[in-house]
Structure 1
Amino acid sequence: MDPLSALRDYTIRGELDRIVRVNDEFRFGLEYSFPCSAETAYRSKQGSLYTLETLVFFVRNHQLKHIEYLQKARPQGIPAVTLPDRKPLLEYLQGKVSSSDAIEFLVPPNNVNTNSSAKFPDLPLSSSLVASDSLAPNLNAINDARAGKPQDVDLPSVMTMIRAMERPLKDRESLLECKQRDFYSVLVASTKREEERQRMDSQQRKDGLVAKSRLMGSEETRYGDESAYDATPKPKMHLKGTKIGEGVPIILVPSAFQTLLTIYNVKEFLEDGVFIPTDVRVKQMKGAKPDCVTVQKKFSRDRVVTAYEVRDKPSALKPEDWDRVVAVFVLGKEWQFKDWPFKDHVEIFNKIIGFFMRFEDDSVESAKNVKQWNVKIISISKNKRHQDRTAALEVWDRLEEFVRSRSHS
């Protein structure tokens, strides 16, 4: 019995607990014993044969996630089963499949002869070989020789049988595998990044829920007394820090195409953290330009936080609508604020938080006017779209902080 077949047999029978390590060998009950470092017949897709120690450790810990399995094997100095090999190897050891191209039962280098004392290894003889008329007599001869019965063996036919059992050491996939490379550190780093992202999402959810509860609490306090509300007209934003008007908060964006953020692409940027150029979104939308877009902060899958209306036509706002305007994305030109119900941009940015979006490698001249205003400059990359999420989060952080300050004023 070879080590791989013995391990498979004990795995199928559910007797892994009977495999005991004694010094440098594994004892399979009272039946077999093999060196821990013995190479098995299962070849990794990277080209090397797995040792018995590696397979015993794997089959006893296969229920662990791959990263946990690696972390457990590494301190013990046990080479690990690679991720691509896990599923097919486990299916073979558990008896779900009867064979695998990765298995190579090798023949010892001793020359085969007709001497009755010759010892033939316990090779697994496949049914397809046994069924062959040309090889069956020689297989019978080998079996008789194992039993101590002298037999003549046709050496060429035996060699044909051996070649039929051979498997290629390399294929297209294995040639593309990187040998002698340890990607464990890469896997750990990517796992940590994912955990950090989830932690940030969780924190953002908590902050958003706190902001929403505070905002709802302030509105209930303000409008809880209906008689007072009916008797007193709703105040308008004439003082710094005036509370938000009744209804969904409003974010204004420029209607000009020369700005990065417009009503066409604002939803993808603020909701999904991805910047898509306006001209691309216009082609994708295939419809009339929307008058209003609703956006929500939903960087996590679990909850959706406060909704906002995004508009690009300030002239269409009613006087009471201006009480709900909480943010504006500026174009960088004074004429953008023409006919706004404020005397100048100083008053505007005392009552409304301003943002200016630009590419990080744009010239300083593009933000010359903006730098004189109370506006937050948001820079994004022209090509590195994975960085858009950070920029979008910065917008949400500052917007929510501003909304909280207005709600408590």
Structure 2
Amino acid sequence: MDPLSALRDFTIRGELDKIVQVGDEFRFGNDYSFPCTAETAYRSKQGNLYTLETLVNYIKNHHLKHVEYIQNSRTLKIPSVTFPDRKPLVDYLHGTISSHDAIEFPKTSIPADVEEYRPDDPNLLVPKDDEFGAAAAGPAKDEDPSLDYITMIRALERPLKDRESLLVCRNRDFYSVLMASTRREEERQRVESQQRKDGSAAKNRLLLEEDGGGGGFDSTPKPKMHLIKGGKIGEGVPIILVPSAFQTLITIYNVKEFLEDGIFVPTDVKVKAGAAKPDCVTVQKKFSRDRVVAAYEVRDKPSALKAEDWDRVVAVFVLGKEWQFKDWPFKDHVEIFNRIIGFYMRFEDDSVESAKTVKQWNVKIISISKNKRHQDRAAALEVWDRLEEFMRARSH
């Protein structure tokens, strides 16, 4: 199947989320894979054929205003769809129209002595004259020697399996393996958490002994308090918000590895590995072994927050778009970043244009390398340092 038809098929079925970029190619579930820069059969009014990465980026962002879409394309360094081509392209990919003048599928001519390809016919292409005779052996004297039946057959072939689907084992369920691994990780985190609590309790006992059991130390446990908007004091675990869009570097999928372990794992890699999307993730600063640190909830659905939940929001990773803050209980982004610390993650070699908007906001820009993963830890520490500094300032 050609890239344009595959994209139209997945769009009509509502399975755009199954189109994932891996390296320099797009994987369409387990069905197809095409190079990102492969030319499609849709020709722009300017004369050029649109590439697959241009069409995938457009159909996933066609709801944006044209100016916002252009900015998004420039940020990703992907050629954009022109304004006159937007509507007919959307109509075709969504199945509203069956064809358009801009579409130019390559034509494959089949000679008269070859039967038409029929999916339900196991013989596929069979020469009419002689099933296993002269036609199979080679062209007859009066036939055109330039006819290449093998090439024509391959032109009509449709891939049924790829290198990934071949690895699928029927009647084998690896879900139990995944669950066992998850349980071990949860147990490890529980043990580490208990060890930190035990260490904190031991320090408290030591301080009591040094103080003679009385005087200036209050051993009564108190709930952790956090200063929130409006100068009020609220109880509970503080909340960090991340965008739900995949265009940003930090999402609900990879925020835990980044903040806890100092390792950046691209979201598409996590999704391709079968990671389920959580509603909420708990993160702790693991870099400090000598003291107990607070835990934070990470969420990516601001619309699901209750009024009292907003009292606990202390930080947000921004996408760089105003619409990210639609329906937030604040007047504008100025008020937001006066009450909540903002972070914008970017690759260090991205263009200046990609951070042009956020440079006008009161947010902290954190840069990481595309390839040097050993530098991720420093970036994660910078986020923690900025966040803890902000929390200390708000608590006074």
TM-score interval, smaller chain = 0.3 to 0.5
Q: Tell me which structure has the larger Cα radius of gyration.
A: 1
TM-score, normalised to structure 2's length? Answer: 0.42
Structure with the higher fraction of residues in helix conformation: 1
TM-score, normalised to structure 1's length? Answer: 0.41
